Chain A
Amino acid sequence: MVALAPPGEETLIHSRRTLFWLLTPAVALLLLTTTYPLVYALANSFRYWVLSRPGQERWVGFENYTRAFGDSDFLNSLLVSVNYTALAVVFAVSLGLGIALLLQKASRLHTFVKVLLIFPFAVSPALKGFSFRFMLDSHSGVFDAIADVIVRSVGWVLTLGGLVHYPAFQIGGLEAGRLTLLPALKFPVTADTIWLADGFWALFWMAMSEVWGWAPLFALMFLGALGSIDTDIFNAARIDGATSGRIFWHITLPLLRPVILIVTLLKIISSLRMFDQVVTMTGGGPGRATETINHLIYQVGFGRGLDMGYASAMAYILVVALSLFAFLYVRVLFRRA
């Protein structure tokens, strides 16, 4: 089954036997733990199986699948999940990259910061949701207090400088309006903003709770990958007079490429699985604006519907879509390198 082909121009010495021993433990362990659940869920996706009606199970062919494509809740949750994933992945990867580049140069301050980077990831997803909800609260939330201070000071400086007229701004007053400079960006950073009442902001903050945990971890991963790179390359480039921008584009980024690609894919998958923050932060609301696919499937299967057949079918639509996506991702992006 295995035809060996060396990667690129490399001529590594290897044999089928070596390959077999390298891969067998992992494949065996995964087969052992996942075959039955995967097959079980696949079988159920073709069955009528409502937990509260034992004894009525039967095969129904593709009925569950056709139902999914006509289900507005399902389609809505797909959209929510895609939006959420886009927000979370873009912010987490770019912020992680930014932090990594910042801390790349060795200094004592950087060393200190690097040790802190793992901390946010250590906060469990459920707790992230709880604490972000708490911090976003308009009475006891620390975010609004901070945002308020920032907006007030910025507004104050701008007003003093005569640059803008900031009408709703009052020093010491209770009233504070929207920052009218950026109306198109919907940027209501004031004490009376109810973040979780707005579909976009609720999703945004949910993504941020995730980004807060992951971006520093990604920074660590990028730093780890940079750590494997011979620092001579950077020194040589600098001696040759390359600017930091050029070094980034032509040396750092290409070197980090494999790690970035993988981290992005893993983040996409984990974002699509996101569940805890929906429960602890928004409950899926306002309306169904933050009802992610994983939360919907949970609700259909266990939470309210007990329809395991239908839940399995929705899950398998996700599996097929993601498998295709991951396969193409691997084919197109990995092999181009």
Chain B
Amino acid sequence: MTVTRARTPAMTGRPRPRLRWGNLMDTFASLLVVVFVLLPIFWLTLTAFKGQRDAFSLRLFFEPTLANFRTIFSDTYRAGDMLVDSLVVSSITILITLPVAIVAAYAFSRFRFRGSDLLLVWVLATQFLPPVVVLLPFYNLFRRPFGWLPESWLDVSFFDNLSRFTLLDTYAALIILNLSFTLPYAIWLLKGFVDALPGELEEAAYVDGSTTFGVLRHITFPLILPGIIVSAAFAFISTWNEFIFALVVGGQRVTTVQVGLNLMNSATGVIWGQMSAVGVLIMVPLIALSFLIRRHFVSGITSGAVK
């Protein structure tokens, strides 16, 4: 059933079918990829429109309901507000991450200096640490200015005053936290794309007297644009999917969609329909985004012609 559904748009997208083994295999394999990619999402979407009882059945035909969506947008959950919070946090994080990561990646890829390997590993080192052991320090960091100083060092009333400047439950705190993992990943990924780029073009530009930033902007940047887009998508989604920090540092005034998703796993069990509805809601902006930038995903092949 699923297969049939997924096949329909794909078939129409196929140009002039020629009956050759290679083409047939190619089409078949592509469709297999479509099924592999879409099956769980299809199932999730279906469940989002099912009532709690139907959610447990394999029925493909059922009475669709919007009740789940109504619930998640109600005052109890306010999924709309969560969506806004997530969008703000993720977008700003990416806007900061990309420029910083691109120049750093270029440096790591094209320059060798003493300790460059060590620095590169250090950039990633924070990612080796399980989140649970840094939850408390991050919380301390944000709860008030100088939150990392032991309480006993200064008198309590002074701290009470500082507490008014808490970053807890603000966009800023979540953005700073997200930078701590988007930056390392973006730097590394982008370094890979620059590495994959032959250096001759840049070399020629340097000979012509370009500055490093000039080369970066006019030569490297356009050439690795497909890589940048994918890295940006990666970083955006990682931020989008981050849960435990968003909960502990945010959670009340600033609530991301992931916190919302986990609310559906309640003390009385998983509410499947509502959880799927949030899951679908979480995907919608990303899917919209990927259609918006699809030209950059798919035109990558030809961008190599930029010379």
Say if the two chains contact directly (CB < 8 Å).
Answer: yes
Chain A interface residues toward B at CB < 8 A: 1-8, 10-14, 18-19, 21-23, 25-27, 29-30, 32-34, 36-38, 40-41, 44, 99, 102-128, 130-132, 134-135, 139-140, 142, 145, 212, 216-217, 220-221, 223-231, 255-259, 261-263, 265-266, 269-270, 272-273, 275-276, 280, 293-294, 297-298, 301-302, 308, 311-312, 315-316, 318-319, 322-323, 326-327, 330-331, 334, 337
Does B123 contact A19, Cβ atoms closer than 8 Å?
no
Interface of A is mostly: helix
Does B41 contact A119, Cβ atoms closer than 8 Å?
yes
Does B304 contact A116, Cβ atoms closer than 8 Å?
no
Choose among A109, A117, A256 the residue that contacts B196 (Cβ–Cβ < 8 A): A256
Smallest CB separation, B95 vs chain A (Å): 13
Does A30 contact B10, Cβ atoms closer than 8 Å?
no
- Complex-state Cα separation, A139 to B223, whole angstroms: 51
Which residues from chain A contact B83 at a C-beta distance below 8 Å?
none
- Complex-state Cα separation, A308 to B286, whole angstroms: 37
Does B126 contact A228, Cβ atoms closer than 8 Å?
no
Which residues from chain B contact A318 at a C-beta distance below 8 Å?
128-130
Instruction: For the complex of A and B, list the 9 residue pairs with the smallest distance between their C-beta atoms, beginning with the closest.
Output: A227-B300, A258-B195, A262-B192, A22-B107, A224-B226, A26-B104, A37-B134, A227-B226, A122-B286
Q: A7-B110, A132-B40 are in contact. Are A298 and B132 (CB under 8 A)?
A: yes
Question: Which stretch (B68-76, B152-160, B161-169, B197-205) binds chain A?
Answer: B197-205
Smallest CB separation, B303 vs chain A (Å): 5
Chain B interface residues toward A at CB < 8 A: 9-10, 13-15, 26-27, 29-30, 33-34, 36-41, 43-44, 47, 55-58, 96, 99-101, 103-104, 106-115, 117-121, 123-138, 140-141, 148, 176-177, 179-180, 183-185, 187-189, 191-193, 195-197, 199, 202-203, 206, 211-213, 223-224, 226-227, 229-230, 233-234, 237, 240-241, 243, 258, 261-262, 265, 270, 272, 275-276, 279, 282-283, 286-287, 290-291, 294, 297-305
Does B36 contact A212, Cβ atoms closer than 8 Å?
yes
- Complex-state Cα separation, A270 to B100, whole angstroms: 22
Choose among B13, B14, B199 the residue that contacts A10 (Cβ–Cβ < 8 A): B199
Choose among A131, A261, A302 the residue that contacts B43 (Cβ–Cβ < 8 A): A131
Does A26 contact B180, Cβ atoms closer than 8 Å?
no
Smallest CB separation, A336 vs chain B (Å): 12
- Complex-state Cα separation, A261 to B223, whole angstroms: 20
- Complex-state Cα separation, A280 to B133, whole angstroms: 21
Does B100 contact A25, Cβ atoms closer than 8 Å?
yes
Chain A to chain B contacts (Cβ below 8 Å), 9 pairs? A110-B30, A124-B279, A142-B43, A217-B230, A223-B301, A266-B189, A301-B132, A323-B121, A334-B117
- Complex-state Cα separation, A1 to B180, whole angstroms: 25
- Complex-state Cα separation, A231 to B283, whole angstroms: 34
Q: A103-B30, A220-B230 are in contact. Are A119 and B38 (CB under 8 A)?
A: yes
Smallest CB separation, B127 vs chain A (Å): 5
Does A26 contact B187, Cβ atoms closer than 8 Å?
yes
Closest to B241 in A: A124
Which residues from chain A contact B191 at a C-beta distance below 8 Å?
258, 262
Which residues from chain A contact B115 at a C-beta distance below 8 Å?
1
Which residues from chain A contact B213 at a C-beta distance below 8 Å?
18
Q: A19-B107, A25-B103, A37-B138 are in contact. Are A123 and B40 (CB under 8 A)?
A: yes
Q: A115-B290, A126-B262, A212-B40 are in contact. Are A311 and B132 (CB under 8 A)?
A: yes
Which residues from chain B contact A315 at a C-beta distance below 8 Å?
129-130, 132-133
Smallest CB separation, B103 vs chain A (Å): 4
Does B14 contact A108, Cβ atoms closer than 8 Å?
yes
Does B41 contact A12, Cβ atoms closer than 8 Å?
no
Choose among B58, B108, B124, B237 the residue that contacts A122 (Cβ–Cβ < 8 A): B237
